Structure 1
Amino acid sequence: MPISFHKMHANGDDFIVVDARNTISPVTSELARRMGDRHLGIGFNQVAVLLDCEDADARLVFWNADGSPLDVCGSATRGAADRLMREANRTSVTLRTNRGLLTCERTSAERISVAMGQPLFGWSEIPLAREMDTTVLPLAGAPAACSMGNPHCTFFVDDLSAIDIATLGPTLETNPLFPLKTNVHFVQIIDRQHIRLRIWERGGGIPLGSGSCCCGAAVNGIRRGLLDNSVEVECDGGSVTVQWDGRGSVVLSGPVVSVFSGSLADGLLCD
């Protein structure tokens, strides 16, 4: 059976949405890897699969471009929500992910917000390899760590342009301190309501943006007392807004754009 998809992006953080409602998901780890190849496939950072759900408008399952699974993706969640809201002519939907139930709302023509749930700070929740203070990790640069359903490690630096992310990123991602690997952030604080962020994404390399990484970076800055509760997060591809009151759910808001729709060629589905 042909597999249809919709290519979208959020400030250059690109993903595809596969609608598998009323059927069994056709996406496996191997197929996600093939589709994610930017030379031989479609090319994306993540794929989000829409599935039927009894207690929400749909359930979302995510894969990275390397075929590894992940529990949540802020950009692809907003993209899937945008499609569902347009389909139903509504301004809000609820989606179930491995992170739990996420409420999404349309706040303007192209801007979607999603309540990403409460951040987790316990060493075993992130997880880390052993018990420690997650506000200041025992690594050079003293980063902070949290989980937004996936692990995040945030370094606060004076000059982003001086950071060799392509070299440092993969080394930090696979540091033994992170048994499930980690997303790595490098943050330059512009002021208490504005940061510049560059990312090494677990299983993905250097993206133009990442919704969950924007949340993790802002949350770690707020925990450190460096940022206010509402932060503009400026990535290479554009800006989003992250709000967190220090107690409840983290709210991510930003644009999503549809690029094109298509169907997978038979050759991509076969060995």
Structure 2
Amino acid sequence: MLTSFYKMHGLGNDFVILDERMGALPLTPDRIAALAHRRRGIGCDQLVTLHAPTVQGADVLVRFFNPDGSEAGACGNASRCVADLVWRCSGNATPVLQTRAGVLPTSRTPDGLITVDMGAPRTHWQDVPLAMAMDTLHLPLPGDPAAASMGNPHATFFVSDFGMVAQGHALEHDPIFPERANIGFARMDGPHHMRLKVHERGAGMTEACGSGACAAVVNAVRRGLAARTCAVELDGGTLRIVWSEQTDHVLMTGSATTAFEGTVDLAAYPS
């Protein structure tokens, strides 16, 4: 069963995108994990599927899957890639994406970058979620992280260097995070510039994490460390994050790139 796919990336955070709008594909967690495998599959940080929208005003329903086959609620870099793909295929420069995290409007900047309205952050402990009631600005973990949800759980450690990054896997699985968490390590270089590394839930260290950049800026603003407009420099490049005082929404702007297109025989992968 040959199926077309797009291989895209946002600042090196890479995705396999499959279109299910014309019919469902035989995807299972095991098959998704096999497709995402770097040596035996196509290889990606996340697999993304496109579907007909089910809410009024949306142009496409988007689902995100981690490389272990589990489903994620949001992915900022993949959302930019989907917006770029919809524009190139349909001419719609402002597609609205329906996701588990909500409806995300998108737009293109004059220089070809893509802005995604990631919605309002959620900072109550139940919304992250965390295992028990606590102050999300100061989690009871070594390193004093802050937590927020951008449709998926994030914890941000504010650091002077990146010696902690090796702890990402253990922190992702800490019992304080009942659904695991994306772990960000942020070094503030001033109120308008942050250097960020992210261990993504189910994927490990990636070159960029869009929702992680949004959560890190939200947490930095809440801590009084950053301005509401902040450039976030990741290993793969820089995102511009704006947390609007007027709407409480977080706007993320960055690039989206198509690496190649191809076909894959889904039946060749475990079901």
| Cα displacement string for residues 2-59 of structure 1 (whole angstroms, at most 9, x for unaligned residues) | 2211001111011121111121143321111011000000110011101011421110
Determine the structure 2 residue equivalent to 1:228. Answer: 227
How far the C-alpha of 1:108 sits from its partner, in A, is 3.6
Matches within 5 A, 1:147-166: 147-160=149-162, 163-166=163-166
Q: Does the alignment pair 1:30 with 2:30? A: yes
For 1:145-185, what per-residue CA distance to the aligned partner results, in whole angstroms no more than 9, with x for missing partners?
0001110000101123xx1413x111111111111111101
Please tell me whether the aligned partners of residues 188 and 194 of structure 2 are also in contact (alpha carbons under 8 angstroms): yes
- Which residue pairs with 1:42 in the alignment? 42
**How does 1:61-76 map onto structure 2 within 5 Å?**
61-76=63-78
Deviations along 1:95-137, one digit per CA (max 9) or x if unpaired, are 1001111001111454111001111011111111110110111
Quote how far apart the aligned CAs of 1:81 are. Answer: 0.9
| Partner Cα separation in structure 2 for residue 191 and residue 114 of structure 1 | 24
* TM-score under structure 2 length normalisation: 0.95
Structure 1 stretches lacking a partner, 5+ long: none
Please name the residue that 2:141 is paired with: 139
Equivalent residues in 2 for 1:47-62, closer than 5 Å:
47-54=47-54, 55=56, 56-62=58-64
Cα pair 1:29 1:67 within 8 Å, conserved: yes
After superposition, the Cα gap between the structure-2 partners of 1:181 and 1:266, relative to the gap in structure 1 and judged at 3 Å, is closer
CA contact (8 A) 2:35 2:269 kept: no
Are 1:6 and 2:37 matched, yes or no?
no
Q: TM-score, normalised by structure 1?
A: 0.95
Cα shift at 1:90 = 2.4
Shift of 1:87: 1.5
Aligned twin of 1:219 = 218
Q: Contact 1:110–1:256 (CA<8 Å) still a contact in 2?
A: no
Residues 72 and 25 of structure 1: is their aligned pair in 2 closer, same or farther, counting only changes over 3 Å?
farther
Conserved 8 A contact 1:35-1:268: no
Aligned counterparts of 1:134 and 1:61: Cα–Cα separation in 2: 27
Q: Distance in 2 between matches of 1:222 and 1:46?
A: 28
Paired with 2:161 and 2:30, the residues of 1 have a C-alpha distance of 39
Alignment map for 1:168-247 (pairs within 5 Å) = 168-246=167-245
Check conservation: 2:34, 2:270, Cα contact below 8 A: no
Where 2:2 maps in the other structure, the secondary structure is: coil
SS at match of 1:78: helix
CA shift for structure 1 position 270: 4.5
| 8 Å contact from structure 1 (residues 47, 64) kept in 2 | yes
Residue type of the alignment partner of 1:91: A
Q: Which amino acid aligns with 2:65?
A: W
Relative to structure 1, the CA distance from residue 268 to residue 222 in structure 2 (aligned partners, 3 Å threshold; closer, same or farther) is: farther
**Stretches (4+) displaced over 6 A:** none
